[in-house]
Structures are given as structure tokens and as C-alpha cells.
Structure 1
Amino acid sequence: MQNKKFIQVFEYQKLRYDDSEDFRKHHFDAMVKFNELHQNKYFTIIHQGIRFGSYVGVIQIGGLTIEVLPKADNNENTDKNLWQNVLLNMLKVCKKIQVESISETQLKKRYHSILDVYFELYLNEIERLIKKGLIKKYRKNQSNQNALKGKLLFSQNIQHNLVHKEHFYCEHQIYDKNHLLHQILYKGLLVLKTFVNDSLKDKLNRLLFEFQDIENINIQKKHFDKIIIDRKNNDYQKAIDIAKIIILNYSPSLNYGNEHLLTLLFDMNVLWEEYIFRILQKHKTDEIEVSFQNSDKFWENKHIRPDIVIKTKDETFVIDTKWKIIEANNPSDDDLKQMFVYNLHWKAEKTLLLYPKSNQKDSEYGTFHYDNLGKKCKLGFVDITNEQTIKNSRVLANEIFAKMYY
């Protein structure tokens, strides 16, 4: 049995193979190759190691799982379980994962890593489909038959049956379970064979037995594009969505020895932006309109796109989210210039730069000195945790709405 290793790090942390018994040179080599194939966007290569960036999530290389967690404080003794829960909750709110057992204040079930959540969800969904009964579909099949069945393919018949005149090479329809939906689910199960922990091995093997008659094909993005969800196969939607995540993030070409690489990485800047929008949208009142990623022409073919625009009967506000720790009341010049443009272009009297909180206090509204228009901007800081738990989303939303006015 392959020994499973687990490393948890925070974003922007360094990991060197000379400093770790679990992270070895061959793991480093696989990550370097993977990063190069993705324009070096996920992390930075340093001497004998990796420096993680703004991408969080999981990298699994054979028996080693590296979980990269977000961090919005300067505490060296930060609770990793808390920030794993924060990340899972953000993924749930942003609909990148559907885990009913995760509440907004705590995880009712503890997972080894975020990938384990996806793995268990996937196996549970397939088990549910099997119990309900896997659907059959018609598909075309070409093969040699002892009797004429369907349509005779003349050229292939001559090629295959020049000697055996008693055979017929035909194209005919078969009604069975060996179709694209099940081929995708089967491929996802085969990928999991390399990565699941021991607690899920038995369930995985039982499910693989149910798919023993399904063809193993090389599933790519184009295969998912062919899937059309309708009334008959609607139950497959969740399983197919998870299979897409697993299969398209699997890199079998990045193997060293018997090890393969599977990644599930999210840009925290993008995740933070969507998370704030979704909780504001969920808890807004009827008098407030919240819109996300508004885009408008700015110059020639270039567009301007603020993160969140909030409109009331009398006012327009723009919120720009920034997942980074800054000194209180000291935004960058680029951030202020960006907000000034939002003020003008979206005719907003006030704009808000929203950061995760790390012992800072909100600034007062500052006024831009331009034609006495009275355009204002402030810095706001929100803590998404409440001591050792995840802050309730309604409380968090109300805090953000209040920042726009005071």
C-alpha cells in the first residue's frame, strides 16, 4: 500500500525539498513541469523549492498531497484547520463545490484535504446513480456479424471478409450503458484509483465493478462539450460536473516513476471577489441592486470592469475587492487611480476598496481633488472569521453594506 503524505502550507509560503522529508526532488520536478505547461502562473520556482503565490487549493503528486491555504493575518501560529474550513466555505458559497455537510459556521465533517471532499462527493453521486439505475442509450456499432444486421458497409466488408464470405461487416444500433456519460464517469473513477485514501478504496472498487463493461476512452474537454443535459439524464449533472474537475485537472503525462499529478487550484483574488458578491447578493434588501463584473467600453476596444456595483434609489457605490494585507490607510497609488476612474465612469459618489482584515481599522472617506466633484473613496477591512469559527454570512454582508454609508 502506498504511503500517503500530507503537507499544509499557506499562500506565499516556501517549500524546499531539502527541508522536508515528505517533499522530495521528484515531486519538485513534477511541479516545475506542470507550472511550465501553465505559463508559470501557479507558483514561483526558487532554489531547491517552490514559492506559492495567490493560488490556493490542492496539488496531489502520487502519494503526496500539498494543500495550499489562504491566509489573511500575520500570525505565525495561524490555525490551519480554520483556514481549511474558510476555503471550503468560500468554495461552497461560490458554487464550486456542493457539500451540504458544511455549514457557514463549521464543518460537521473533517476532511483530510479539499480533494477528499470532491472524491467523496463524486463516489456518493455515482453510487446514487447506480442505485437508481444507470440509463441506457442507443449508439452506433460497427462489427462483423454472422448475419446481416443493420446497414452493410461495403468497403469494410470487402476488407475484412474477402475470405470469409459467410460474415457481414455491418453498422447497427445497440441499446446499452456504454455511452459517453458513463465513459466520462468511468474515466473519473479510474483517475481516483491513484489518489483516493484508504477509507474510500473499498467504495471505489465496488463502483468500478459496476462499470466493467464500459469502454475506457481518452476523455478530453471536447467530450464534455458534447454532453447535453436533458430531462432523462438530469440526475447526472452533479456527477459530470465533478468528473470534469477531476479529469481535466489530471496530468498523467507528468509522471515520474509511478506517480501522477492532480491539481485543484483557485486564484484567491478571483475567489474573494465572487465570495463577497454572493453574500451581498444573498442578504441584500429589496431596495438594493447588486451586480457583478459589470463591463463597459473604456477606450477603443478596451473595457473597464469594477468588481461589484451597488445601486440604491438615490446612490451608486462601487466596491473593488483586494485579497492582500496592507497597512491601514495606505493604499497603493494604482488602486486609488483605479477607484477614481470607477467614480467617474460609473457616476458613483463613493467607492470602497475592500480588504481582508488584519488588525486594521476602516479609513474615513477621502475626497479626490478633481473639479470639486466631491468623489470619495475609503478603505474597508472585513474579518471573515470570528475567533475560531467562520463568520456568519449575514453578519458579514451587513458589515459591508454599513461601510458604504459610514
Structure 2
Amino acid sequence: MAKPKLIQVFEHQRLLKNNTYDGVCFEDRYFKALLKLNELHNSKYFTPTYEGLKFDSYVGVLQIDDLVIEVLPKVEGYTAEKNQWRDVLIEMLRVTHQLKVNEVGQASVAKQSIHLLDIYFDWFLREVEQLVHAGLIKQYRKETKNTLALKGKLEFAGHIRKNLVHQERFYTTHQVYDKDHLLHKIMNEALQVVETMSKGTYRYGRCKAVQLNFPEMSTLKVVAQTFDKIIFNRKNQAYQTVIALARLIILNYSPNVKHGDEQMLALMFDMNDLWEKYVLAKLKQQAGSEWLVKGQDSKTFWENKSIKPDIVLQHVLTRTNVIVDTKWKNYAYDKIGLDDLRQIYVYNDFWEAELGMLLYPSPTETKIAVKGTYAKNGYQGKIGLATVLTADGKLNKDLGSDIFDLLS
């Protein structure tokens, strides 16, 4: 695999096949491979169009063989460049604990040539290196095979079938205490994915070095259900981060999907979900002692169905509630969905909230949009606008404080 080529696009942007973007041709083979990949992920990343595709609200990175496509967030009205929005995405992932930039190194992240997959791969390799250096743990596992000594449980049917001539052998199921267990098999599988997707880069050599220091493993087909079998305890709790990263890498890797020849990996995040988590994180950081901040607080709505607003704020002294429902879309009053307005009204009613606010990103200032507020039965509904970037094009780190200023 050659050194990866990079195309940067924004969410909701179109890519037309055989057109050139950032000096790279979006060839027909990449287009067809992306169609397969999107179908594998329930067609949620983009919508096929005539001679191309249109990205939806998912951001992140897609790799097809030697092509990397970064899908970046953006709010209309900002003049920030693509690399600034790339840094915004990385910072949002860091704040919401979906990415630990410090584990990779801030200097590495600052390189314009490094993309999101690189960061996750480097983070995974670093975690593996640290575990190997500290000493990989051993665990008990069951093994069924021929032995020269009778130990464990004799498997009669297999013993008769395999040892009719070799009567000095015993076909048994017995316990083995070694490093060839589930945790290491998962890590080994993820290492193979990183090796495959890193050919042509400096990371390939680093990955091969890690593999040389990693014990030889028996093969295992890792699927989503494989991770359900893991039980963490005091002995293996140091593996939690590396297994979480391995899960992310393995389950998003799609080799030879539908009998194609492409090596593909998608690491995509729903921007609506990421915006909600970022706002929640900043509110929790900057709430001070006056407010309690709860995310996804739920109440029963109809029989066994529940409703849960994005964020519930409760004033410590007055015990009054404020509902914040985040919306990652460009604010335009005449385009606000009626369902969104109904939703915030129901939240107000069920939580007996003093205020319910639909919070949109804004390129100008953090404020309440005065037009169209409602007040009924003691409840208020308003539109809130929150500035995402600062004047120098960086993510607004005072977002939580700005929102609390609106409430005051």
C-alpha cells in the first residue's frame, strides 16, 4: 500500500467521482468502495447522488486503500480553514473523552500531515508498548489436545479417534496458564489491522516492532460479541483502555467487504451526538457551586417508553430546572422544525422547568434569540445561540460559562 493521499471535506459536502480535491482524484474505485462501506454501516455516513455522494452529519475519517478522507465539522458563517476545523474536531473528541491527545503527544497532533486515524493508531500502539514493558499478564484457559501425560479430563471419543495407534498419548481437555488468552488475541487482531492500514507510513515500522515484542497468539475471529465475554478485574484493569481502542479499530475495519479487494476503515462520529457531549462536558466543568448538571436524565412518558432531554440543569438553591436541548445545525428561525419546538415544550412540562432552550451553534455570539420565545403554563421556551470558535479560530473553551451567563 502506497503512502496515503488525503482529501478534506466538510459535513454535508458533495464529492463527485473522477473530480480532483486537494490535488487528489476521487477515482471511481474509491467511490464504489465507499458505497460498499456505507451499506455495511446502515447507509448512515453519506447519501449516494448522481455521479457522487453527499456526506451527512457524521464527521471523522475514512480510509480506502491509499486514500484518506477527513470529514470535518463546520458552522456556516465562519472563515476558519479546514485544518482549524480538524483541530476543533480533535479537541471536541478530547474533551468528551473519546480521544486522549496527551497519550499521543500534542506535537504529533499539531502536524498537518497526521490525521485522526493516525492519532488513534498511535494511541493504541503506545498502550500496547506500555503493557508489554510492564509485563503482559497470564490467564487460565481451557485447551483440548494430545498430551504425553494424562491431565485434566480425558475426551474419550477424540482419544479413540486420534490415538488408536499411539497408545502412549492422551487426548484431554485441561487448563493452561499462559499469555495466549482473549485479551491478547484481541490486541493481536487490532495490531494486524494497524499494520495493514499503516503501510507506506512511518507507523508501519513502529507497528512491526511492537509485533516482534508481542507473544505469538492462536487465531480468533473477533466480532462485537467477543467483547461481551470480557470481565475486567483488579488483575486486568490496566487493559481497559487498550481493549476499548482495539474494539474501535477492529469493529470499524472492513477488509474485502462483499468480495472486493479494498482495505477499508471508518472512524466516524455523529456530530449531533458530539456537540451534545461537548456542551455537557463544558457545562459540568464550569457549573461552579450553583448548578447541578445532568445528561440524559429520563422519565417515563408512555407505558414502557421514556423521554430524556440532552441536558438538565438544576439550580442548587432554588431547585428550579432548566432544559438544554442541543442542535448541531445552522440556526435559521424560519427553518426550525415544529417537532423540535414540541419536544422542548414536553421536556419543560415533564421536568416542570423554568426554561427550555434549543441550543444552536453560532458564528457570531452567544445569546438568546429574542424572536419567537413562548411562555405558557409558567414555562418558557427560547432559542439559544452558542459561539463555537473564538476570534482566532480555536474551539471556545468558555462555552459552559457563556451558557450560564445566558441563564443569569
Matches of 2:127 and 2:394, distance apart in 1: 27
Matches of 1:107 and 1:260, distance apart in 2: 25
Describe the shift of the 1:375–1:171 C-alpha distance in structure 2 as closer, same or farther (beyond 3 A): closer
What residue ranges of structure 1 are gaps of 5+ in the alignment? none
Confirm or deny: 8 A CA contact 2:33 2:262 kept in the other structure: no
Q: Within 5 Å, which residues of 2 pair with 1:302-341?
A: 302-312=305-315, 313-314=317-318, 315-327=320-332, 331-341=336-346
Is structure 2 residue 362 aligned with structure 1 residue 357? yes
Partner of residue 30 from structure 2, selected from 7, 27, 32: 27
Is structure 2 residue 9 aligned with structure 1 residue 5? no
Confirm or deny: 8 A CA contact 2:62 2:264 kept in the other structure: yes
Confirm or deny: 8 A CA contact 1:366 1:378 kept in the other structure: yes
Deviation at 1:102, TM superposition (A): 8.5
Matches of 1:142 and 1:333, distance apart in 2: 63
Deviation at 1:167, TM superposition (A): 2.1
Deviation at 1:98, TM superposition (A): 1.7
TM-score normalised by length of structure 1: 0.91
Deviation at 1:255, TM superposition (A): 6.6
Is structure 2 residue 22 aligned with structure 1 residue 18? no
Deviation at 1:329, TM superposition (A): 7.8
> How well do the aligned residues superpose, as a CA RMSD in angstroms?
2.4
SS in 2 for 1:385: coil
SS in 1 for 2:188: helix
Give the structure 1 partner of residue 390 of structure 2: 386
Q: What's the CA shift string for 1:18-65, capped at 9, x where partnerless?
A: 213432222211221222233322210011211000011111111111
What residue ranges of structure 2 are gaps of 5+ in the alignment? none
Give the structure 2 partner of residue 343 of structure 1: 348
Confirm or deny: 8 A CA contact 2:17 2:26 kept in the other structure: yes
Partner of residue 280 from structure 1, selected from 279, 283, 308: 283
Give the structure 2 partner of residue 117 of structure 1: 119
Deviation at 1:2, TM superposition (A): 1.7
Matches of 1:362 and 1:347, distance apart in 2: 21
The residue type equivalent to 1:386 in the other structure is: T
Confirm or deny: 8 A CA contact 1:17 1:23 kept in the other structure: yes
Count of aligned pairs: 400
The residue type equivalent to 2:344 in the other structure is: M
Matches of 1:144 and 1:374, distance apart in 2: 77
The residue type equivalent to 2:290 in the other structure is: E
Is structure 2 residue 269 aligned with structure 1 residue 266? yes
Deviation at 1:212, TM superposition (A): 5.1
Matches of 1:219 and 1:102, distance apart in 2: 26
Describe the shift of the 1:103–1:232 C-alpha distance in structure 2 as closer, same or farther (beyond 3 A): closer
Matches of 2:96 and 2:220, distance apart in 1: 32
Matches of 1:182 and 1:346, distance apart in 2: 47
Deviation at 1:338, TM superposition (A): 2.1
TM-score normalised by length of structure 2: 0.91
Deviation at 1:367, TM superposition (A): 4.8
Matches of 1:111 and 1:132, distance apart in 2: 32
Over the matched positions of the two proteins, sequence identity in percent amounts to: 42
Give the structure 1 partner of residue 131 of structure 2: 129
Matches of 2:255 and 2:179, distance apart in 1: 26
Give the structure 2 partner of residue 162 of structure 1: 164
The residue type equivalent to 1:344 in the other structure is: D
Describe the shift of the 1:404–1:385 C-alpha distance in structure 2 as closer, same or farther (beyond 3 A): same
Matches of 1:338 and 1:281, distance apart in 2: 23
